[in-house]
Amino acid sequence: MKWALTQEIPPCKDKWVSVLGFDTVVKLVVHDFARISVASLERNKEWMEIQRMFPENVFRVAIQMRVIPPYLKRISSYLMPASWAVSRNLHSAQRLITPIVEERRRMETVNDPDYKPPNDFLQWLMDEAWNERDGQPAELVHRLLVLALASVHTTSMTATQVLYDIIAHPEYLEPLREEILQALKEDGGWQKTTLTKMRKLDSFMKESQRLNGPSLIGFKRAAMEDITLSDGTVLPKGVHMVVPVVPISLESVTPDPGVFQGFRFYYERQKPGQSNLHQFAMTDKNNMHFGHGKYSCPGRFFAAHAIKILIAHLILNYDFKFPEGKSRPGNLLAHEYCFPDPTAHILVKERDSPWSI
């Protein structure tokens, strides 16, 4: 992550430098995902650009398709520049990944006792392929990019909102830094347990998400048969249903729901019997940003860890503020999706005493 920071944040040792907030966070998240997706490509700029642009291009296609009549969708998909970009992303990814898959397969057949398969997403997909088709490079590439689609921008959106809220509420900055440093000192650096000790940061992330969820609605379902609710309401077969996740987060079930309280959930966890509850990656009937129940987002734990690591590195190594006369950027809506303003700038300066652990 430290290398990624030097690549995406301009030199700012003794001066404030303006950067695009959302764009910078996206690129940092891509660095992280590139490393765990295909280890040998962790610093490959083309691979990182594919992972950054593929989700954006797919989203553009999906939004454009919504306004096109069903009978024109197939032909329209061949006429959209964003659709062409998706195809280019796939072809470029296959060109990069296919030789790596073939080399790993070859190493598996030579029975070299010193060979240790890389511990990355690509290897997991290769190992868990159910049949020959699932193990083909083209299929593996599709799955890797679907993982990027599900991970990169959703994680980046939440991380950007957290960073904006830290800048907007500077009174939380030092307590967060102190907690992070204490956890790192206790564990002698980054360990899995280190992240679980960052309870204030976890609470801050959850509160930021509560007020700035990535989607206004969630829990999208279609009735496969007629469903009768407890009050007698009948949902006919084929009807589509959604849950208003953001309005639920802002209802009276939460004390002072319109007020940002960064440590709201940290204090909830101090109560008897509540220590392991109210965590960022947890879901319940009043918090469905990650869904709820059997089909909750399986990547929410990865997202929680990735955001904690990113935010910790940022606030331990840099100071941030909004440009003169500017306040926290508002959000942009695209249909039901809620994005941090991609045009908003923030100012960044390297700290005099950056993190040295």
Instruction: Report the binding-site residues.
Output: 297
| Secondary element (H or E) of residue 320 | strand 318-321
Distance CA 25, CA 8 (A): 9
Residue with tokens 């869904």: 291
How far apart, in whole angstroms, are the C-alpha atoms of residue 241 and residue 261? 31
271 in helix, strand or coil?
Answer: coil
Tell how far CA 89 is from the center of its chain: 20
Q: How far apart are CA 184 and CA 199, in angstroms?
A: 13
Residue bearing tokens 């990019």: 145
CA dist 129 and 212 (Å) reads 37
What gap in Å lies between CA 200 and CA 142, rounded to an integer? 37
Strand partners, 318: 350
Residues 212, 341 contacting (CB under 8 angstroms): no
Rounded alpha-carbon distances, angstroms, from residue 30 to 34, 43, 50, 169, 273:
6, 10, 10, 27, 38
The answer to whether 143 touches 294, Cβ cutoff 8 Å, is: no
Q: What is the DSSP string of 205-219?
A: HHHHHHHS-SBS-EE
> Annotated binding residues for heme, as ranges?
297
